[in-house]
């Protein structure tokens, strides 16, 4: 395969990584572009995966390491696609490699710079629960393991420069333009989550013990900000009574998202089970509209959660969450629609199962690649039944949650399919 017949994979989450690995294994040169400092995406934030409760890191990190060491994969993290032009049957691509302000030829990844940095800000990777320094790697298993100065929070105190014995700090580093020519493109830009502040009735942002399911994932994770210890954000106390509120920002016309997010029911059940395993005698209640456990082994897992782990399931839409200012406990009022009984109950912690939305940069990528998005805001398939991973533009394929809410197995399946399609497309050209 000719060098310029490479494949550009946009997005370094599980779908992008899988597509890159599969295409590279077929002999294609792959350029894996990720806008964040590390690949890994949302999956890197998760603790366990449903329904098997396999460790998320155990599945993902070997793939991340493999992608970084594969001879056919050129990893371009902290880079963004700026322009794509069709030139005959090829695509001419312009990328912007953002400055890390750290000389990659000198940084060993020792982390001394971060130890001495005086500035701490919320760590996006920990869903804002933990803190990181102004010079940082998002998480210990980040790939590439290159420290990055967060320009907007750095006060240029010079401590990192002083402490870095390797002399890797370079405040004068400039953005770099990279030009590529590729024969096919795979878009795997993933998804964004619903901003829980928009459902003000649940008090997210006002009440510290109202958290999202992504935040709970970080609390449950052994490499998370609490080392896997479940605690309330207000006082660090272990919660004994936890409520999950489902469909926050999904199946909700008030916030403009009529869709089911597909994964939240299983996420909540899985996290409920994990809570039961982490905290002795914790009481878990899931308030739901419908339990949608459609995948292989999902229904069995739901039944186990109910019967074996003793998780309570209450069918009803919670109207409002009110905080007791003295205890920071949360009062929920809800009608059980199966019994018509109105329940008013106090919980130590409330977890909002926030919906899956199109990724933040999807409109921009759509414009750059000239591929349409559908009425739900995700990329539109060429034909949902017969060409589900092809875009409307020949040579551009889409995989994973960039097409709509998807769980990990479906995203991986999409990615492998997109890789084969892209390689076949290139081979067909020759």
Partner 1 sequence: MRDWSTISLREELINEVRELLKTGRYRSVSEFVSEAIRLRLEEVSHSNGPATPKRDPLTTMVPPRTEHVETPPDIVVDRLEQVWLVLARLFGDMIQKNLDVNAEIAPKLRNCRTLINFIRAHTCPGCDRDAVQYRLQDLQHSLEKVKENLIEDALRVSENYAKKWVNLLDEAERADLQIITSSIYTFVPGLPKDPETEWVRLTLLKPIAKEKAEEISKKFGVTTEFTGDSQLVVRGDKNSVREAVRVLYQLQS
Contact residues for partner 1, defined by CB under 8 A: 53-55, 57-58, 61-62, 65, 68-69, 104-111, 114-115, 118-123, 126, 128-132, 140-146, 152-153, 155-157, 164-168, 195, 197, 205, 208, 222-227, 231-236
Q: Which CB contacts under 8 angstroms, 24+ apart, belong to 174-177?
A: 174/99, 175/96, 175/97, 175/98, 175/99, 176/96, 176/97, 176/99, 177/82, 177/94, 177/95, 177/96, 177/97
Q: Considering the complex, state which of residue 62 and residue 372 has its C-beta at the smaller distance from partner 1.
A: 62
Q: Are 166 and 107 in contact (CB under 8 A)?
A: yes
CB 426, min distance to partner 1, A: 29
* 20 SS3 class: helix
Q: Among residues 141 and 427, whose Cβ is nearest to partner 1? A: 141
Please state the closest distance from residue 168 (CB atom) to partner 1, in A: 8
Q: Closer to partner 1 at the Cβ: 129 or 371?
A: 129
Report the DSSP pairing between strands 349-354 and 241-248: parallel
Contact 22, 420 (CB under 8 A): yes
Nearer to partner 1, 168 or 396 (CB): 168
Determine the Cα–Cα distance for residues 408 and 134; give it in Å rounded to an integer: 32
Q: At closest approach, how far in Å is the CB of 27 from partner 1?
A: 23
Instruction: Measure the CA dihedral 74/404/122/325, to 10°.
Output: -170
Beta bridge pairs of residue 347:
330
Length of the chain: 430
CA distance 195 to 240: 26
Q: How far is the CB of 118 from partner 1 (least distance, A)?
A: 5
β-bridge mates for residue 357, sequence order: 192
Our CB check for partner 1 shows the closer of 58 and 384 to be 58
Please, are residues 45 and 217 in contact by the beta-carbon 8 Å criterion? yes
Q: CA–CA separation, 341 vs 334, rounded Å?
A: 8
Taking the C-alpha atoms of residue 117 and residue 165, their distance in angstroms, rounded to an integer, is: 15
* Closest distance to partner 1 from the beta carbon of 367 (Å): 27
Contacts of residue 62, Cβ cutoff 8 Å, sequence gap at least 6: none
Q: How far is the CB of 21 from partner 1 (least distance, A)?
A: 14
Residue 145: HSE in the Cβ half-sphere, 13 Å Cα cutoff: 12
Q: How far apart are CA 408 and CA 262, in angstroms?
A: 11
CB of 127 to partner 1, least distance (A): 10
Supply the minimum distance, in Å, between the C-beta of residue 129 and partner 1. Answer: 6
- 121 or 343, CB closer to partner 1? 121
**CA 414 to chain centroid:** 17
Could you give phi then psi for residue 249, rounded to 5 degrees? 90, 10
Smallest distance, partner 1 to C-beta of residue 34, A: 15
Residue with tokens 């994964």: 263
| 19/168 with CB nearer partner 1 | 168
Q: Which residues on adjacent β-strands are paired with residue 90?
A: 87
In whole angstroms, how close is the CB of 1 to partner 1 at the nearest point? 26
- Closest to partner 1 by CB, 128 vs 295, is 128
CB nearer partner 1, residue 231 or residue 393: 231
Helices (H), 175-237: 213-220
Cβ distance to partner 1 smaller for residue 119 or 279: 119
């Amino acid at each position: 395969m000719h060098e310029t017949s490479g494949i550009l994979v946009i997005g370094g989450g599980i779908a992008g990584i899988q597509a890159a690995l599969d295409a590279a294994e077929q002999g294609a040169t792959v350029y894996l572009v990720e806008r964040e400092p590390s690949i890994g995406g949302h999956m890197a934030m998760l603790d366990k995966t449903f329904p098997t409760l396999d460790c998320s890191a155990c599945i993902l990190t070997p793939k991340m390491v493999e992608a970084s060491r594969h001879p056919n994969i050129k990893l371009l993290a902290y880079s963004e696609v700026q322009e794509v032009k069709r030139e005959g049957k090829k695509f001419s691509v312009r990328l912007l490699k953002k400055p890390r302000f750290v000389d990659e030829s000198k940084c060993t990844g020792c982390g001394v710079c971060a130890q001495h940095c005086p500035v701490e800000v919320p760590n996006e990777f920990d869903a804002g629960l933990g803190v990181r320094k102004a010079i940082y790697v998002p998480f210990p298993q980040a790939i590439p393991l290159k420290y990055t100065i967060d320009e907007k929070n750095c006060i240029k105190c010079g401590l990192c420069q002083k402490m870095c014995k390797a002399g890797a700090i370079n405040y004068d580093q400039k953005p770099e333009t990279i030009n590529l020519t590729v024969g096919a493109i795979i878009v795997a830009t993933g998804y964004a989550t619903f901003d829980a502040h928009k459902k003000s009735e649940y008090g997210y942002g006002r009440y510290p013990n109202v958290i999202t399911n992504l935040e709970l994932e970080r609390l449950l994770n052994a490499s998370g900000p609490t080392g896997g210890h479940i605690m309330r954000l207000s006082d660090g106390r272990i919660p004994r009574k936890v409520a999950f509120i489902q469909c926050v920002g999904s199946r909700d016309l008030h916030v403009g998202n009529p869709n089911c997010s597909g994964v939240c029911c299983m996420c909540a059940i899985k996290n409920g089970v994990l809570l039961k395993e982490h905290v002795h005698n914790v009481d878990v209640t899931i308030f739901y509209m419908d339990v949608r456990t459609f995948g292989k082994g999902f229904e069995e897992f739901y039944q186990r959660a109910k019967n074996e782990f003793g998780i309570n399931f209450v069918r009803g839409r919670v109207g409002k969450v009110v905080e007791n200012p003295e205890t920071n406990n949360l009062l929920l009022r809800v009608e059980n629609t199966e019994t018509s009984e109105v329940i008013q109950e106090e919980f130590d912690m409330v977890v909002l199962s926030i919906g899956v939305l199109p990724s933040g940069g999807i409109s921009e990528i759509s414009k750059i690649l000239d591929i349409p998005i559908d009425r739900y805001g995700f990329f539109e398939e060429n034909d949902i039944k017969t060409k589900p991973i092809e875009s409307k533009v020949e040579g551009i394929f889409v995989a994973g949650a960039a097409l709509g809410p998807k769980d990990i197995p479906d995203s991986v399946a999409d990615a492998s399919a997109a890789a084969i399609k892209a390689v076949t497309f290139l081979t067909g050209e020759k």
